[in-house]
Structure 1
């Protein structure tokens, strides 16, 4: 039996890029069932698709997995807009059956309120200096290419995976300072919205910690970290890393309690259309 969670949050899959771990993300979702699946931005990388990116069958399979969760498990899916899939601005907000496409949302669970946003709106580089963000995208893409080359030779020598981009971020003082400031500003936003916590993505750094009384949760990414956030039915959040999973192990089903979701924040009405059964058939942290 699948392990059942109340809510799973993933972000920054960057479908359409060479660095996207779409196959692993799909396999991860097969391991679990959940009442709510929140795709917290940068799921599709529109920036790369306009340039050198390409859409592969494994990218389509990710959405097939999502649609199966809706059809077979009655999962409610919330796709929140990120900066790399900002093309969604043209249709927000939209609801198609159990699929909702939003800019952000407030999630209520076990007496707590969480503000959920991709997080790019709090990034001054992304918001105010678009050309710098694009340069950062190019630089990060180069790092990922170099990272694949480095790890190819490390594997041949029997060495463990090494993240070049994480190493660079950890060594550059301005990068460390940026991440700290980013997290603190998001915590302030959650407090201003009278929420108990903030759930975000964007900077490709998975985190679960308290900041000035606010629960700060970042789901990481599916380019390198391959991580997700999961909430059990008692309201406890945990980070799950793909590389730590035992795919040969079968887990037991957990009973499903009541919950409430409030979305979107602006209380706009959705356009609703019939949902038909489907045919089965990456990125800079400083932008």
Structure 2
């Protein structure tokens, strides 16, 4: 199994919340090596930390692992802000060595250009009412709480894991309509910027497909799907699901120095 990639994209880890799978993130990052690690928004959940969230040692270990990748493997780390970590707006843009923090970027690889953004720009297109986003967050938090109870019962009965929120998304017409609109609109944004594809997160739905000639990639999340996007040296992208990995066959990556390469980003104008 391949363990060395050119680029890995993670999004929606939501550190600071009960639902965040921080231990799994650390274990995942120990198995793989990459030249570029893109943290595509909602890595820290500032919204929940302001309300009822709490920061645990396991959340700190995620950043300890990322810093080790920078120090030992010379991994270039790009942290893009999402709507839940919008507190980063106070320091954007910021670049320190192999770590940069910014709003979005254009990634160029193997002759193709990808616009990478968390995806909450779609919410700005459809509505400027911030309270709607908070209301949606409250509903999702409740579904996660209920999902924990449901799966506790299912485990006792010997039944497999069931994602309540994913089920609701697939059945509720408004949710399906939102996702379809989200994917289509982001592809339009990518095309307007002269890009071949869009890489995003935000809606917690991992996906790889083509929409009207634009490559649409969504890295999913680390609350339920536990998924990541990975690009090999030939420019081929794939989704990796933590729950499908056989860690007995995946050898942890050994730290070694990777020669520094040219930065993969270039400045972008802010959205008007």
TM-score normalised per structure 2: 0.93
Q: Give the Å deviation of 1:122.
A: 1.3
Please tell me whether residue 11 in structure 1 is matched to residue 11 in structure 2: yes
Q: Give the Å deviation of 1:126.
A: 8.2
Q: Distance in 2 between matches of 1:13 and 1:189?
A: 25
Q: Give the Å deviation of 1:124.
A: 3.9
| C-alpha distance after superposition, 1:166-199 (max 9, x if no partner) | 0001010111011001100000000000000000
Alpha carbons of 1:63 and 1:135: their partners in 2 closer, same or farther (altered >3 Å)? same
| C-alpha distance after superposition, 1:148-179 (max 9, x if no partner) | 00000101111100000000010101110110
Q: Relative contact order (alpha carbons < 8 A, sep ≥ 6): 1 or 2 greater? A: 1
Aligned to 2:63: 63
Q: Distance in 2 between matches of 1:20 and 1:127?
A: 27
- Secondary structure of the residue aligned to 2:151 is helix
Q: Distance in 2 between matches of 1:195 and 1:113?
A: 5
- 4+ runs of 1 displaced by more than 3 Å? 124-127, 250-253, 256-260
Aligned to 1:280: none
Please tell me whether residue 115 in structure 1 is matched to residue 115 in structure 2: yes
Q: In angstroms, what is the RMSD of aligned CA positions?
A: 2.0
TM-score normalised per structure 1: 0.88
- Secondary structure of the residue aligned to 1:47 is helix
Q: Higher mean Cα deviation, 29-38 or 136-145?
A: 136-145
Unaligned ranges ≥5, structure 2: none
Aligned to 2:267: 264
Unaligned ranges ≥5, structure 1: 268-287
Aligned to 1:276: none
Number of aligned residue pairs:
265
Aligned to 1:270: none
| C-alpha distance after superposition, 1:63-86 (max 9, x if no partner) | 001000000100000000000000
Q: Give the Å deviation of 1:133.
A: 1.2
